[in-house]
Chain A
């Protein structure tokens, strides 16, 4: 008998729960009785503008209080070592775990937020675009030091490719006036998150920013040339002189 009572009360409890849940969801249904006009927004993002803000929030990295590790910092020289030219995707300078993998989480686990890697005695560079996970579409490993045409003298990358000079950096180079905030000497495509390269211990020392907490970067720093414009971007002057008789 007792056992039966237990089973009955168990079902009663389940039944009451059902009534409550059903009642609640019915009420919820009543409240939203109209047809909601809210459409699921598509493409509701601004890729070229939101980079720094998003990453600053999402990573929760305390860039301001990150120590500068002088013994393990990159320089611009080493930064360009594994890039064919300014803006080219860097090649992967270390062995990869699995040849068949896209990259994805394997790469992201170190390159999303960075950090010191004992094995390579270096800080992992932070990617500006962790949302793109087919890493090896653009980033390839370097499996040989030789080149195709002169296999014998293969020590360097000298292939005849005219390597463009990367933009100069340093005090007064990209400033319009003494002391004014430097302009951005490079394009921003795929590199909208400024702090990934300009802050933290993996940032090349020449381009490390002193104020990574100011994440509205483009309040003060503008690209030297508008990248998307199809119009003449030389100095703005009106054709006023035509009307002028001096």
Chain B
């Protein structure tokens, strides 16, 4: 009853989406459920959920009406998430591989084996022979102890995470343009914007709750959605305008939009003069296809005239020829951004981040918003969406990348000193040189440089590009593989030790979503068997390796103790994290949390107390307080369709499954709606090859092949000359086919473009 009245209160606070009361009707009157709040386990939108438990079992999920993200609405994955816990093949006990068979082992013994193996490997091959590969699904405490163990205690930077595969370009984009990571705006922008431009982003399926908020604004206020992509999807069907472009030409199109904005006098001159610099970097920067590839950009300041001169190559007429977007559409997009009366939000996710020029395209979209001054204001701004629940909270803020520390980077002496002080380790412990990013880490496993790897909450042998190389690499005797996970996956199949992890509601923790919102939840149910929270596994291993005094946390309360220690890193108005009492009460709080208030729009003096230059805007991430407009040219993709391999291959996701599907495929509702992957064709291509729906098709690249049923005019429609495959299906490993080329600045691989041929299987 209290719940109901709370909901009515919430309904008056957030008009519009209120859904949980509706769901309440479906729950039998006599059910005596205990509801606890938390974030959803899946994507980076970070919806608030309420989990209903009964007799120690989770039995129902509904949207949290108090959460400003989703206001009570969820998507089909969110509603059914707890059903995977009932899966029969849950990893409940530690398994140790003996003579090719997994033998059930008490967890303390398994942890002994892991700790001993780690110690032995370090003793005989050095610190840099051990590595840890974590996840954007790791909680904040998990990421924090992993970083402290690897960088502080052991003293190696061999720590990276799967967020490298999804968010690294967003990070380098923010750092190069603004000097401070993570979006300046928040989801509330949706309530104010007139135009939503989605760049290569099928939000109707991948960020459905946010898309529903957009649809609501479309219906109520007449806001317009413009879908700007290489594939026709549900989002295109629901948008006001769908504009299709040729893969990789987004770089040129963004420049063409800037060209038109300047040409038509839509540039916000006073904003640019006060708050922006112009810079250029190196060009022809390579694709990282070879092992040990290294690249460092050399930024160089330029003036506005030089930038204008550079844009001359990008007139709509010139770009239209190779982007296959009409001049009219380019001018229309420029008008959408340029017209001073339009409030515009740009959204993007993997289309721009998984790009061999990912940092550049992020920079270029920021250019559009900086040139027009449409940034850091309600309803105006670029917004980089994330794919994992804590890609921001853990991977980016705690810093589980090889070059990162909880605050700053390992290359910076002051940052190292702060970390050493809080971690209570000698500063010399923390090496100043980054080592392996995700792709290179698995290449090092293949080369035999890494002899021990521990993966946590991730499934690299489905999600890495070119898994055809990395699967045999991980099977090699030269590398000892430890996998902590909830379910068996193709990655755990190659493990030497499998550690049974707790699922998110079986442990407490904190996540951080796309809009800088930190979300806390308490343990709701007991995990089965000997499952253990990942953070506690790290701590147990650290203790066994003799670092016990650095990890003085208690088993019951370690989440809170670790968060309070971590919070010290971000003290100050630029990144203050909310105290635990607040996080326990609220359904997520946006940082910087200063004087009891969330900062919804950073860099805007009206909302952000960290602005100190007396102007309306202050881009305080950069020493001179100015954001950077980057001169970044169009460069071709590393592999383009040719005579032998005539199709572009694009990969992605579907609404039913989340990433590699290890959780969602164990939810019967989702599995039965989408039991297997498929290969999408344009109907003209299908006709030319006389391919019918459902026929098995073998798709082959220079690296490998994969057989999938054809799909024509179903879920999505790629442009002519392009095929699309979702990557969730471990029985149809499309990543055997993809290319491990990456953005030289962010080191994030491009899963969206490589050349393939298709034939009937």
Contacts and interface: CB of A to CB of B under 8 A. Distances in A.
A214 B104 CA distance: 48
B672 A233 contact: yes
B59 interface: yes
Contact of B25 (A42, A49, A171, A232): A171
A172 B59 CA distance: 13
A180 B615 CA distance: 49
Given A34-B321, A53-B238, A231-B676, A177 B713 contact: no
A185 B243 CA distance: 35
A232 B675 contact: yes
Q: Which of B62, B208, B234, B317 has the most CB of A within 10 A?
A: B234
Given A45-B713, A226-B673, A220 B76 contact: yes
Nearest to A213: B219
A238 to B, nearest CB: 6
B333 to A, nearest CB: 15
Contacts of A39: 720
Instruction: Give the interface SS of chain B, mostly helix, strand, loop or mixed.
Output: mixed
Interface stretch (B80-88, B537-545, B742-750): B80-88
Nearest to A230: B694
B326 A176 contact: no
B317 A179 contact: no
Nearest to B670: A222
Interface string B291-330: 0000000000000000000000000010011101011000
Contacts of A230: 694, 709
B672 A225 contact: yes
Nearest to A34: B321
A215 B217 CA distance: 12
B665 A49 contact: no
Contact of B28 (A50, A172, A210, A243): A172
A244 B234 CA distance: 42
Interface in B21-74: 22-28, 31, 33, 52, 59-62, 73-74
A46 B27 contact: no
A221 B103 CA distance: 41
A180 B22 CA distance: 10
Interface string B692-725: 0110000000000000010101111100100000
Given A46-B714, A177-B83, A233 B671 contact: yes
A98 interface: no
Q: Which of B27, B73, B682, B711 has the most CB of A within 10 A?
A: B27
Range class of the A interface residue count = 35 or more
Interface residues of B, number: 82
A243 B498 CA distance: 12
Contacts of A210: 22
Interface string A10-47: 00000000000000000000011010111101111111
Interface in A199-245: 210-211, 213-216, 218-226, 228-233, 235-238, 240-241, 243-245
A216 B234 contact: yes
Contacts of A171: 25-26
Nearest to A54: B237
A50 to B, nearest CB: 4
Given A43-B713, A211-B22, A231-B676, A176 B75 contact: no
Contacts of A175: 26
Interface string B672-686: 111110000011100
Given A48-B713, A50-B234, A243-B102, A219 B76 contact: yes
Q: Which of A39, A46, A48, A245 has the most CB of B within 10 A?
A: A46
A143 to B, nearest CB: 37
Q: Which of B74, B317, B326, B713 has the most CB of A within 10 A?
A: B713
A219 B208 contact: yes
Nearest to A175: B26
Given A176-B80, A216-B212, 13 more contacts: A38-B324, A43-B683, A44-B232, A45-B232, A49-B233, A50-B234, A178-B31, A226-B672, A231-B675, A231-B676, A238-B488, A240-B488, A245-B104
27 contacts: A36-B326, A37-B321, A37-B322, A41-B720, A43-B713, A44-B717, A46-B233, A176-B80, A176-B83, A178-B31, A178-B59, A179-B24, A181-B23, A214-B212, A214-B215, A216-B204, A216-B215, A220-B75, A222-B656, A222-B670, A224-B672, A225-B673, A230-B709, A233-B671, A238-B730, A240-B488, A245-B102
